[in-house]
Amino acid sequence: MPKSHLLLSRPLAQVLAATVGFAGTAPALASASTSVAIVGEAFHINGQPTYKGRVWQGHDLEGLLLNARLVQGIFDDLNPSTVSRWAYPDTGRWDAERNTREFIAAMPEWRRHGLLAFTINLQGGSPEGYSKAQPWHNSAFQADGSLRADYLARLKRIINRADQLGMVVIVGYFYFGQDHRLRDEAAVARGADHATRWLLDHDWRNVLVEIANETDVGYHHALLQPGRVHELILRVKEINRDGRRLLAGTSYGGGRIPGPNVVRASDFLLLHGNGVSDPKRIADMVRQTRATPMPILFNEDDHLNFDQPDNNFIAAVSQHASWGYFDYRRPGEGFAEGYQSLPVNWGLSSARKRAFFRLLAEMTGSAQLGRRAAAGWAVATAGEIMAAPVWPAPQRLAPDLKGRIPRQFSQPGAAPAPRAGCSATASSPQAGATSPAAPGAAATTGIPGLWATPAPQARLSL
């Protein structure tokens, strides 16, 4: 974890998220800035293996894609008889746009703790965590397989922000609780085609595809079931733009190993740890799956125990498999809990969430951030601070940072606006250097160690 982050109390971070624009529409990107690839059994981002050179307790993290199941980022409910179930406690109503805004606002904090990927689904997941019946209507697909513009607009903002943050988005197409919303098998095929072309047309390079969430769990259409789901994987892989295609696979229910037809068709293998309470079984699953050399990725597991020396997360990493955190609201729990139960608090708002991110930060080398998360502190980058309309009051700073902000910026008041097209950076000039005057060059901001430059990603140096 670089020491150039400013740590702020959570209320201020939420204010900044609302004022800076991270909670709103992400700006259009001139070109993709994050590109995911697979080299052998390793994930690469922008030509380098993920977590390059990182070893934690003897376990090699290089090439892994540590992730979380955050499938409800574009959720909506088109069933008027069930939509009231997801009402926010403060407003008494459901708001799909608010859900996406708050998702986007939370993304930088996830990334700063070492999270490199998350799964989001065009048909979501159970908003109750687990459900026998799913009468709500949450689908980015129309009955004929065409795509809903409002869902795509929300997803576009999320993928754009992930691209800026250096994150990979695992886009799930179908979910067994909602696949019946598509009229027939032809509509399912059309839906997969439309989604794939839409992703390729936007030229995003930071996307992986999960065709079906748990192909072996109760799908209505045979094309999404284990015996034939490989047809859709191959179908998606055949669609290309200028020779570029999407990397694709599919997942199975907890504890199950991918079938040979899926292994042959896939670019990576997805496992789920639901129902697997013994970490030794997680390790066994990886060893059984590794017969074919390609990345192995858990992207759903609700067995946590992050404070224990042996848990499913550590077991997966010990076998050099990526792992994904899945959390939902248990009976009787409040709004702060879970990332799948609706409405979602997308922050690090509960002990379970902070425990996951603390271990993730420790594993990935962001230990200081992990400790801050455990203490309830959030983080803001220099770009967020510089764009805020007011500077933070001293009481909003983490205790060990009080007194380290220049006096003129430690009291609430107008903040200096960065130059258009510039953002803050931690690159400090050498002693005695002066700010270049040429257009587009670095310029002082008035805060020691903080310079405004055209750099796209920024951190505050104190």
Taking each helix axis from N to C terminus, what angle separates 149-165 and 96-112, rounded to the nearest 10 degrees? 20
Percent of the chain clearing pLDDT 70 (strictly above): 72
Q: 24 with 394: CB under 8 angstroms?
A: no
Q: 121 with 213: CB under 8 angstroms?
A: yes
What Rg value do the Cα atoms of the chain yield, rounded? Answer: 22
Q: How far is CA 143 from CA 32, 82, 174, in A?
A: 32, 19, 13
* pLDDT, tens digit (0-9, with 9 covering 90-100), for 213-260: 999 999 999 999 999 999 999 999 999 999 999 999 999 999 999 999
Q: pLDDT grade, residue 321 (50/70/90)?
A: very high
The DSSP symbol for 86 reads G
**SS3 label, residue 459:** coil
Residue type, 212: A
Q: How far apart are CA 289 and CA 437, in angstroms?
A: 58
* pLDDT, tens digit (0-9, with 9 covering 90-100), for 35-63: 999 999 999 999 999 999 999 999 999 99
* pLDDT, tens digit (0-9, with 9 covering 90-100), for 74-120: 999 999 999 999 999 999 999 999 999 999 999 999 999 999 999 99
Residue 326 has pLDDT above 60, yes or no: yes
Q: How far apart are CA 245 and CA 254, in angstroms?
A: 29
Average pLDDT of 167-196? 98
Q: 275 with 254: CB under 8 angstroms?
A: yes
**Domains defined for the chain, CATH in brackets:** 31-379 (3.20.20.80)
* pLDDT, tens digit (0-9, with 9 covering 90-100), for 332-362: 999 999 999 999 999 999 999 999 999 999 9
Sheet holding 247-249, edge to edge: 247-249, 207-213, 168-175, 117-121, 67-69, 324-325
Q: What is the pLDDT, as a whole number, of residue 368? A: 55
User: Given the structure tokens 């200081």, which residue do they identify?
Assistant: 368
DSSP 183-230: -SHHHHHHHHHHHHHHHHHTT-BSEEEEEEETTTS--SSGGGSTTTHH
Half-sphere exposure of residue 114, counting CA atoms within 13 Å on the CB side? 31
Average pLDDT of 440-448? 32
Half-sphere exposure of residue 210, counting CA atoms within 13 Å on the CB side? 32
Residue 145 has pLDDT above 70, yes or no: yes
Q: Which residues contact 131 (CB under 8 A, 6 or more apart)?
A: 177
Listed residue (260, 367, 278, 339) closest to 314, CA to CA: 278
Average pLDDT of 299-309? 95
The DSSP symbol for 339 reads S
Q: Which residues contact 136 (CB under 8 A, 6 or more apart)?
A: 77, 79, 82, 83, 85, 127
Q: What is the pLDDT, as a whole number, of residue 71? A: 98
**SS3 label, residue 313:** helix
Q: What is the pLDDT, as a whole number, of residue 95? A: 98
Q: How far is CA 169 from CA 29, 192, 293, in A?
A: 16, 17, 22
If one compares 457 and 304, the residue with the highest pLDDT of the two is: 304
Residue type, 64: L
Residue 151 has pLDDT above 60, yes or no: yes
If one compares 32 and 285, the residue with the highest pLDDT of the two is: 285
Q: What is the pLDDT, as a whole number, of residue 367? A: 57
Cis amide prior to 399 (ω within 30 degrees): no
* pLDDT, tens digit (0-9, with 9 covering 90-100), for 265-281: 999 999 999 999 999 99
Residue 197 has pLDDT above 70, yes or no: yes
Q: What is the pLDDT, as a whole number, of residue 17? A: 35
Structure tokens at 300: 């759903």
Structure tokens at 285: 């699953």
Q: What is the pLDDT, as a whole number, of residue 371? A: 54
Listed residue (161, 179, 180) closest to 169, CA to CA: 161
CB atoms within 10 A of CB 397: 20
pTM above 0.95, yes or no: no
Q: 338 with 346: CB under 8 angstroms?
A: no
Q: How far apart are CA 259 and CA 256, in angstroms?
A: 9
Q: What is the pLDDT, as a whole number, of residue 441? A: 34
Q: How far is CA 282 from CA 70, 90, 130, 233, 355, in A?
A: 21, 40, 21, 25, 20
Q: 104 with 22: CB under 8 angstroms?
A: yes
